[in-house]
Amino acid sequence: MSRSIPPLQALRALEAAARRRSFSRAAEELHLTHSAVSHHLRALEAELGVDLFKRVGSQMIPTAAGAQLADRVRRSLEDLRDALDATRPGVNGVTRLELSVMSDFASVWLIPRLPDFHERYPDVDLSLHTHAAVTPPDPYPFDIGIWHRRVEAPGFQIRKLLDDQVVAVCSPALLARYPDFRPEMLASMPLLRFSRRGWRDFFEAAGVNGTEPERGPIFDDAGLLLRAAISGQGVATARMQLARDFIERGELVQLGSVRVPASLDYYFTWRDGHPREAAIAQFHRWIKGQLAG
């Protein structure tokens, strides 16, 4: 006699709770109540005859058996989703890719170039989801991720996109107020603050005796930081890849020739054996070509 398979909702509750380390967050993700998730998992433990979770502080940590089962359930759910996606006919033959991307990279660099991608690959549609935190989000809901750090979950392909450098930029109007500009004058200019990067490393590389600015707004998005620099509010440190278009259009000017390595990279991420890997590879080749250009 074949053994019965537990309800799909119970298996989804197991996978989400193991990944989130929380019954409450799993309940929010699955649009269930906390008690419903607890009930599903208690019933699953009773059916299997093993403990699947243990409480450690405020977290619900999967046991060895729970972690192993959750990993296999996750892969099975992905296979099921991929099989359903492969079965559904595309809309007018178009492949849709869910892309999670760092918000500054999306707004400053990617979106202005998307018309070229769609012209080259009209049968691929991108659905963009922006992400602001340095730590990657849950990678499983997305076909592609472009994030600052590698994902820790197993079963993903990860490719570093580029090595970038940081430069100092400001608006032409602001630079005009310093007609005899020299790098050592940076410390006396209005400096914009960025939550992920201070001025110390740049000052040291430029040989400038300066200190971190203590007043003024602090930006946590590089796109907004560049907009503030373009409007003449001050000098900003910025990734060359993000600033290059503005420099070429004359909206920003690079101050001096000093460049320091960027502290964060961009990584292109997708799942192993993805059924839409051909379209993902097209996007990866295109984005690498754009960065090289």
Domain end point (choices 87, 104, 129): 87
Same domain, 218 and 257: yes
pLDDT band at 87 (very low <50, low <70, confident <90, very high): low
Tokens of 105: 């990279």
Residue 256: left (phi > 0), alpha (psi -120 to 50), or beta? left
Q: Would you say residue 3 lies in a domain?
A: no
pLDDT tens-place string over residues 230-273: 999 999 999 999 999 999 999 999 998 889 999 889 999 999 88
Residue 230 domain-assigned? yes
**Residue 61: inside a domain, yes or no?**
yes
Mean pLDDT estimate for the chain: 90
What pLDDT is stored for residue 233 in this prediction? 95
Q: Which residues constitute the domain of residue 224?
A: 165-261
Angstrom distances, CA of residue 162 to CA of 165, 209, 259, 291: 10, 31, 15, 8
Which residues, other chains included, contact 162 with Cβ-Cβ below 8 Å and sequence gap of 6+? Answer: 241, 265, 266, 291
pLDDT digits (tens, 9 = 90+) for 114-131: 999 999 999 999 999 999
Say which CATH number the domain at 116 has: 3.40.190.10
Per-residue pLDDT reduced to its tens digit, 126-185 = 999 999 999 999 898 899 999 999 998 888 999 999 889 999 999 999 999 998 888 888
138, part of any domain: yes
What pLDDT score was predicted for residue 86?
A: 60
